[in-house]
């Protein structure tokens, strides 16, 4: 098992930060459609994701990934897919599902739990795919 390089950790933190910002932009652009409670729930997940991204900058260098390069590539690809999916969110449930999957993945990365990362990647891929695939139930 290899450890992430400082460059890998920095890039991963950037990807989570960028995705959190995109989620916040979606929340702001849909302000008129969200109740105060819904706004607050999305805000809480966005802040949590930003905090984890910040922590990844300093803590992920020592994180271990199984088959480091393949796992890192898939992890980065999944976060990028989620960022693209944000542009297609149609319902609050989709926003919450995607935000929850992002927080789960960021948390597993931050904790260094290499065994949990593949499952968290799948959860994020599923959430992003449900948004990107027309005709999927979203309620």
pTM of the model: 0.76
pLDDT, tens digit (0-9, with 9 covering 90-100), for 23-67: 999 999 999 999 999 999 999 999 999 998 888 877 655 665 555
* Neighbouring residues of 30: CB distance < 8 A, sequence distance ≥ 6: 95
Q: Which two tokens stand for residue 55?
A: 């922590």
* Neighbouring residues of 32: CB distance < 8 A, sequence distance ≥ 6: none
What is the arithmetic mean of pLDDT over 96-114? Answer: 88
> Bigger pLDDT: 8 or 105?
105
pLDDT of residue 138: 43
- Answer yes or no: are the C-beta atoms of 93 and 139 closer than 8 Å: yes
């Amino acid at each position: 098992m290899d450890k992430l390089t400082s460059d890998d950790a920095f890039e991963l933190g950037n990807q989570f930060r960028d995705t959190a910002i995109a989620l916040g932009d979606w929340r702001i652009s849909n302000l008129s459609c969200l109740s105060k409670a819904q706004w607050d729930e999305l805000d809480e997940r966005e802040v949590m994701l930003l905090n984890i991204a910040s922590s990844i900058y300093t803590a992920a260098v020592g994180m271990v990934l199984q088959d480091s390069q393949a796992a890192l590539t898939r992890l980065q690809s999944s976060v990028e897919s989620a960022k693209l999916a944000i542009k297609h969110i149609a319902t609050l449930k989709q926003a919450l599902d995607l935000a929850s999957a992002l927080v789960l993945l960021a948390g597993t990365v931050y904790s260094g739990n290499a065994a949990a990362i593949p499952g968290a990647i799948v959860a994020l891929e599923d959430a992003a795919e449900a948004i990107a695939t027309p005709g999927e139930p979203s309620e």
